[in-house]
Amino acid sequence: MIYSKLFSIDLGLVATLSENARLAGAIDLAGNYLSDDLPSTIASDLKNLPDDVFNRIVSTYGLIELRQEISHKMRSQYDRAYCPETEITITNGANQALFAAMTAFLGEGDEVILFEPAAENYLPIIMLSGARPVYVSLKGPDFHIDWEEVTRMVTANTKMIIINTPHNPTGMVLSELDMLRLQKVINGTRILVLSDECLEHLIYDGASHQSVALYPKLAECSIIVNSMAQSCRVAWPVGYCAAPAELMKQIRSILHVTDGGHFAPLQMLLAQCLGQKDIYRACLSTIARSATALMK
């Protein structure tokens, strides 16, 4: 019998549904498709790139120009400076960033607190790392977190808490009070926070995105995972993680093993998109229009 570390998990639900739809000739509603074309400037810039760019492979850490633009973006939004050389790393999609961040710090006997319902990609990585998931259910009807329950669930083995705001799949958005309560929970411990902020721009009803980067003490022991796909309206698997240099050094040690480099043109175009503020704002406006249309 072939042994599988993930024998108890249904693997790749979305991929399975998409493949079944393809085989049956059905409409694939499970796959991820953009409802809009590429922003016109990105499309035109792609056509105008010199030929030699398409033969260039970027290093494991990602194109420095893109890391610099992400650093500028985060400083502008959250007033925290992440060094592009040592504290920001580009990954092949957000899932790779999640994998590297978890496997770099988790091991046998460690516990990870996560909030359910949780995104389907967290649990397999936790199990592959040999750690144990500790579930805290979101409370209805607004899917809020009971921080007193979180405090009770913390043990000497708790190594990481995963937060996801806006939350996938409920849409719940963590508030400033939530972040302060999280900061209180981990104060005086060695617990790391993994903050999945891939949907940071999907915020409505007057709420604001509460990144861990806004809270200096929290940011010191947190790893941010994000994606360029949502903010720049592209279907390319380009993600990134941001963390203090001592944490990033360990994350990069995992990426050295799992990453063979990056495709230069994609990262060049994304750096240009972030650098041209009017284009970036247009991308964000498109996100808002698309989400509003879906909600009607």
pLDDT tens track for 215-266: 999 999 999 999 987 767 777 788 999 999 999 999 999 999 887 677 788 8
34-295: in CATH 3.10.20.600: no
| CA pair distance 262, 272, nearest whole angstrom | 17
Q: What is the pTM of this model?
A: 0.85
| CA pair distance 74, 213, nearest whole angstrom | 8
Q: 143: how many CB neighbours lie within 10 A of its CB?
A: 16
Mind listing the pLDDT tens digit for each residue in 280-291?
555 544 444 444
Residues with pLDDT less than 50, the chain: 1, 279, 284-296
Q: Max Cα separation, the chain?
A: 58
CA angle 209, 195, 66 (to 5 degrees): 80
- State residue 267's pLDDT score: 85
- State residue 55's pLDDT score: 75
What residues form DSSP beta bridges with 178? Answer: none
- State residue 156's pLDDT score: 96
- Report the Cα–Cα distance between both ends of the chain, in Å, rounded: 51
User: Domains of the chain: which residue ranges?
Assistant: 34-295
Determine phi and psi for 241, rounding to 5 degrees: -130, 150
Residue burial 68-95, b: 16+ Cβ < 10 Å; e: rest: bbbbebbeeebebebebebbbbbbbbbb
